[in-house]
Structure 1
Amino acid sequence: MDLPRGHAVQGRQHAGGPGREGARAMKTYIGDRTIDGILVTVDGEPLQPRDDLKDYAGADFEWSYEGPAPRQLAFAILTDHFGDGTRAEALTERFMRDVVANFQNEWEMSTADIDDVVSTYDAGAA
């Protein structure tokens, strides 16, 4: 499976290609490790951790390994993407293992990238 990955040396690498269109507006999720700590944004605004719906690690985000803070990031991305905490929770563990645990220091992911990954989950269930 071709997963989105960031590249710390050459800047962000985006896995989405041109010409992808979907029913929902395209969003871009970006993660950076800065001198001030972890920063995750969606379309330039801080991504809400959604620990009000599911608290894996409070408001903490992390990536590049499997654990509570990467799980919180996976849940937050999926909840923002779907607008549905129930569906996000059902996919969080797999998305964390397959995608978030494989992010580099800097990463970028679009809604099309997320749809591509989730479609492999849906196809596997069929």
Structure 2
Amino acid sequence: MKTDSTNHPRAAVQDDSEQCQTNADHVEYVGMRVDGTPVVLKLTEHERLSPDRSLDLVRHSPAGFEWGYTGSGPAQLACALLLDYFDDESVAHQYYIQFRNEVVSQLACDGPADCWHLTGDDIEAALGEFQDHHALTPDGGVASTSLPANWSAVSRTDRTVFQRQDIDHYVVLGDGSDEWLLLLCAQGDRAYPAPLDHRTLPVENDPASAVQALVAESNDLVEPEEDI
């Protein structure tokens, strides 16, 4: 049965009856475990997908890829897939977290061939859905110097998430009935975010300074890479 790319990507990337075979007219990736090690192949090029190129863009998991949950290994795979398919660093950098959360976290090695398949059509369908969640700067679209360049803000229907681009740290800003609640979280290898710190302040207050304080704390928690 051929994958229907018009479906939601979480359903479209799985096909229990499909065997591990290539279609020369169509980009296709397949993932499997070899002696317990995650392996991702680009079938149309008959080559193994390496994390090396994506590690130059974001460094979540130098040890390699993973899938089936949200974490650093799946984040690296999401970035590598988008970078390989679109050959565009800006597209990969902007969308890999959403792609991890919506697509890579749902991949599973099952079916007769004990592998997962992801086609170019699946990737493009997922990216099409992400257009509704476009990136915004904290002040509503005008370039801002209030946060470091490696942070951006993504608008959601009920909250704003300030996302660090080079590591899985987030500041979640939500408004309750009478106060702002701000959480600094780290995803890492966990299935769910781990709260690192939080702030609360009256809802009539401008939360910008509290966001900046949590962003600074995130920066302090990350050890700089040593010069070799």
Q: TM-score range by the shorter chain?
A: 0.7 to 0.9
Instruction: Report the Cα offset of residue 90 of structure 1.
Output: 0.6
The two structures, once aligned, show a CA RMSD in angstroms of: 2.1
Q: Which runs of 5+ in 1 are unaligned?
A: 14-24
Structure 1 residue 100, shift from structure 2 partner: 0.4
**Once the two structures are superposed, what CA deviation does each residue of 1:69-126 show, in whole Å capped at 9, x if it has no partner?**
000000000001110122101101110010000001221111111111111112x258
1:26 aligns with 2:26: yes
Aligned to 1:112: 121
Q: Is the 8 A contact 1:32 1:40 kept in 2?
A: yes
Using a 3 Å threshold, how does the CA distance of structure 1 residues 31 and 62 change in structure 2: closer, same or farther? same
Higher relative contact order (CA 8 A, sep 6+): 1
Cα distance, 1:53 vs. partner?
2.0
Given the alignment of the two structures, is residue 62 of structure 1 paired with residue 66 of structure 2, yes or no? Answer: yes
TM-score normalised by the chain length of structure 1: 0.78
Counterpart in the other structure of 2:206: none
Identify if the C-alpha distance between structure 1 residues 5 and 99 changes in structure 2 by more than 3 Å, giving closer, same or farther.
Answer: same
State the distance in 1 between where 2:74 and 2:15 align: 15
Distance in structure 2 (CA, Å) of the matches to 1:120 and 1:98: 10
Match of 1:20 in 2: none
Aligned residue for 1:104, secondary structure, equals coil
Structure 1 residue ranges (4+ consecutive) displaced by more than 6 angstroms after TM superposition: none
Distance 1:28 1:70 in 2: 18
The TM-score, its normalising length taken from structure 2, stands at 0.45
| Residues 80, 71 of structure 1: alpha-carbon distance in 2 compared, 3 angstrom cutoff | same
SS in structure 1 at match of 2:55: coil
* Mean CA deviation greater in 85-94 or 30-39: 30-39
* Higher percent of residues as helix: 1
Deviations 1:29-70 (A, max 9, x none): 110012251110112211121212221111510000110000
Q: 2:35 is matched by which residue type in structure 1?
A: I
Residue 12 and residue 62 in structure 1: after superposition, are their counterparts in 2 closer, same or farther (change >3 A)? farther
| Structure of greater Rg | 2
The 3-state SS of whatever aligns with 1:41 is strand
Q: Which has the higher strand share?
A: 2
Which of 81, 102, 105 does residue 85 from structure 2 map onto?
81
* Paired position in structure 2 for 1:42: 42
Q: Which runs of 5+ in 2 are unaligned?
A: 1-7, 110-114, 135-228
> Any conservation in 1 of the 2:9–2:122 contact (CA below 8 Å)?
no
